Amino acid sequence: MSMAAESSPEADVVIDVRGLWSVFPTAGGGEVVIHKDLDLVVKRGEILSIVGGSGTGKTVLLRRILGLDAPSKGSVTVLGRPATEQNDRDAATRLGMLFQQGALFSAFSVLDNIALPLRERKAVPKDIERKAALLKLEMVGLQAKDAPKMPADLSGGMIKRVALARALVMDPPLLLLDEPTAGLDPESSDAFCELLLDLHRELGLTVLMVTHDLDTLFALSTRVAVLAEQRVLVTGTVDEVAAYSHPFIDDYFHGARGESAMRLFKAKQAEKAQGAAMPMEQS
Ligand SMILES: Nc1ncnc2c1ncn2[C@@H]1O[C@H](COP(=O)(O)OP(=O)(O)OP(=O)(O)O)[C@@H](O)[C@H]1O
């Protein structure tokens, strides 16, 4: 599983985490080790999901990949550069980040929120900036009439879409998602997953996602990495990872919630396969 996945040619490696240690001081003067010699490779075109119990360091790992914190030891390379060197004015051209709550600016309209990375870079004249933001607005399934709305007037699903449009406004090849469907009702969550799948396919994105939500995990992941025991315990397809024996995996994938999400996912897959086969049968 993980060995084969990580022997890909270097050109295909988008995120390369090697021997990562994340160590924090404790109030009592000691230290706590969150990651110990953690390795993770994300290849071009993957939708790789990170799962793990609470406190296993998923957010800490995401922050290191974003370059917000330096590793205590080891290296984090994103698109061939050390992660900590990517927070320059071109960052949004390389990597888009969708935060859990959307992180929209409440005083800015939908369009101004989407255009923000362009404006910060002063890359294009105002009218082009507006056109580019409108294109992205439509790309995420919103309409021109939504452009002047303020964040307070948006549904949870719309907030996620605006935040996604902003993350993609500079056409980065890499998208990071933190709990992309958290807070959405099941219907909005399914619709948002469909949108992410469409964009992944159409734009050729590489996606790294952290999620607790099993339906989202099953719907989107091409590969899953399980964080446990201070490292990436196992990587593989959903089925491969679910077959690995570990208390977290047993509980997460094979508890009542896991089993019902898996059944629903398999049923949806079968439905899709049947739908895809229909036109051929008819012809
Ligand atoms: N700057 C910091 N200083 C000290 N401890 C920290 C710091 N950042 C994170 N931690 C600790 O690292 C551990 C992992 O935190 P993290 O938020 O990454 O977990 P997580 O896997 O995302 O959890 P959850 O699923 O609950 O969101 C926690 O115990 C947290 O308290």
Atom of ligand 1 nearest to the CA of 212: 25
Per-residue confidence (pLDDT) for residue 197, from 0 to 100? 94
User: Residues 115, 121, 127, 128: is their CA dihedral positive or negative?
Assistant: negative
Q: How confident is the model at residue 4 (pLDDT cuts 50, 70, 90)?
A: very low
Q: 283 pLDDT band (50/70/90 cuts)?
A: very low
Average pLDDT of the chain is 88
* Nearest atom within ligand 1 for CA of residue 24: 4
Are 133 and 118 contacting, i.e. CB atoms less than 8 angstroms apart? yes
Question: At residue 2, does pLDDT exceed 70?
Answer: no
Residue 211 Cβ inside 6 Å of ligand 1? The answer reads no
Q: Ligand 1 atom closest to Cα of 62? A: 18
Residue 57 CB less than 6 A away from ligand 1:
yes
State which of 33, 38, 59 you would mutate to test the pocket of ligand 1, scoring each by most atoms of that ligand within 8 A of its C-beta. Answer: 59
CATH number of 2-282: 3.40.50.300
C-beta of 52 in contact with ligand 1 (< 6 A): yes
CA 230–ligand 1 middle distance (angstroms): 12
Query: Residue 114 in contact with residue 166, Cβ under 8 Å?
Result: yes
Per-domain boundaries in the chain: 2-282
